[in-house]
């Protein structure tokens, strides 16, 4: 099966760039908000039928070209035995490492992830008109930072980073253990049928890039190699890495997702072809009522695609609670229609 998203991943030429948005399956959708009145986030992701429904919602309601599994990066800490709750304010760990003052020994129980493979089976069973499904996990550093800090309330993770330097050997052990769990989890997702796999290293930019590259990047490469060995393309999102992007050209990832701090032409200078780029619309543009500013930013991305076809349009990070459904749908429509208008091709 092919579509514009899988064709682009495989390097085939397409008449427009594919588009999907990180966090598309969440709170920007009115139908999701309705479901959240009846179910908690944990219930929605733990019930395979409900998770399948939410996963496919943005394909119908926004018209995006791919679905991303409705789950969370913190299911790996849960499978490592840590207690995580998901109140509306964001995830909270019961006993984060910083509170314990130490890094405990953990035991990985892979059976605790079975509901996610069941959700993938449900999604694939429902999808009669093939929609590519993106599986994912968190990057080892991002996963560690949550396990250590316990929340993302200030997005700084300073205590978790102090612990990183203080208990370096213990942290290295945890990074390796998280990576091993992610590899098993990723391979199982591939076996159940996903079209692509994205690794969210959302807080990769919080460490000095040379520390990240030395301690974490080798683990990242291990995950990428494992997924690629299953024949599944990989998208790597090292948010905030900045000029450090120039050191990840040998990651093995097919595409690198770029945040809004780096322009696409600058990212291309740091990451040569055939590595594809994904991104990098500022999600805050989906929260404003000035359509001209949004149009200009979208057109800028489309102009890049006209010269460099190895591009998947996405945001520089996930949809925020302030984004509106109308703006998000408008952006998807504009991305899907502009190039054909420009190239004079008929619309379908």
User: Which residues of this protein are in contact with ligand CP3, per CB under 6 A?
Assistant: 22-27, 36, 41, 68, 70-74, 86, 88, 90-91, 136, 142, 152, 200, 202, 318
Paired tokens of 330: 């408008």
Helices 168-192 and 217-228 pack at an angle, to 10 degrees, of 20
In the complex, the smallest distance separating the C-beta of residue 201 from ligand CP3, rounded to whole angstroms, is 9
Contact status, residue 166 vs residue 187, Cβ threshold 8 Å: no
In the complex, the smallest distance separating the C-beta of residue 67 from ligand CP3, rounded to whole angstroms, is 9
H helices of 129-167, in order, are 140-149, 158-166
Please, which residue, 27 or 228, has the CB nearer to ligand CP3?
A: 27
Please, which residue, 36 or 309, has the CB nearer to ligand CP3?
A: 36
Ordered strands of the 276-281 beta sheet = 67-68, 133-138, 196-201, 234-238, 255-257, 276-281, 311-315
Please, which residue, 136 or 304, has the CB nearer to ligand CP3?
A: 136
Please, which residue, 148 or 338, has the CB nearer to ligand CP3?
A: 148
Please, which residue, 90 or 208, has the CB nearer to ligand CP3?
A: 90
Q: Report the C-alpha dihedral over residues 110, 116, 118, 121, rounded to 10 degrees.
A: -120
Q: Give the number of other CB atoms < 10 A from CB of residue 219.
A: 20
In the complex, the smallest distance separating the C-beta of residue 271 from ligand CP3, rounded to whole angstroms, is 20
Based on the number of CB atoms within 10 Å of its own CB, is 289 exposed (0-12), middle (13-18) or buried (19 or more)? exposed
In the complex, the smallest distance separating the C-beta of residue 22 from ligand CP3, rounded to whole angstroms, is 5
In the complex, the smallest distance separating the C-beta of residue 213 from ligand CP3, rounded to whole angstroms, is 20
In the complex, the smallest distance separating the C-beta of residue 141 from ligand CP3, rounded to whole angstroms, is 11
Please, which residue, 5 or 70, has the CB nearer to ligand CP3?
A: 70
344: helix, coil or strand? coil
């Amino acid at each position: 099966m092919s579509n514009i998203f899988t064709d682009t991943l495989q390097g085939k030429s397409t008449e427009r760039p594919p588009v999907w948005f990180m966090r598309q399956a969440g709170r920007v959708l009115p139908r999701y908000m309705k479901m959240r009145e009846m179910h908690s986030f944990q219930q929605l992701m733990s019930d395979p039928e409900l998770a399948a429904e939410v996963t496919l919602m943005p394909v119908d309601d926004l018209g995006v070209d791919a679905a991303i599994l409705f789950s969370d990066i913190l299911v790996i800490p849960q499978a490592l035995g840590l207690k995580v709750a998901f109140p509306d304010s964001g995830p909270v760990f019961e006993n984060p490492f910083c509170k314990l003052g130490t890094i405990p020994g953990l035991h990985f129980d892979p059976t605790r992830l079975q509901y996610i493979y069941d959700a993938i089976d449900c999604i694939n069973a429902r999808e009669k008109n093939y929609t590519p499904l993106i599986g994912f996990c968190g990057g080892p550093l991002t996963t560690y930072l949550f396990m250590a800090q316990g929340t993302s309330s200030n997005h700084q993770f300073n205590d978790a980073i102090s612990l990183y330097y203080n208990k370096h050997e213990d942290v290295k052990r945890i990074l390796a253990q998280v990576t091993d769990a992610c590899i098993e989890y990723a391979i199982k997702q591939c076996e159940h049928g996903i079209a692509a796999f994205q690794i969210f290293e959302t807080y990769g930019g919080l460490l000095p890039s040379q520390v990240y590259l030395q301690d974490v990047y080798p683990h990242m490469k291990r995950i990428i190699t494992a997924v690629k060995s299953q024949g599944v393309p990989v998208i790597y999102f090292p948010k905030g890495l900045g000029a450090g992007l120039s050191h990840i050209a040998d990651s093995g990832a097919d595409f690198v997702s770029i945040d809004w701090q780096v322009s696409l032409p600058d990212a291309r200078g740091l990451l040569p072809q055939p590595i594809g780029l994904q991104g990098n619309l500022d999600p805050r543009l989906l929260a404003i009522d000035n359509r001209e500013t949004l149009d200009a930013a979208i057109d800028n991305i489309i102009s890049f695609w006209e010269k460099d076809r190895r591009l998947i349009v996405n945001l520089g990070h996930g949809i925020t609670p302030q984004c509106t459904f109308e703006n998000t749908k408008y952006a998807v429509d504009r991305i899907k229609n502009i190039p054909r208008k420009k190239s004079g091709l008929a619309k379908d």
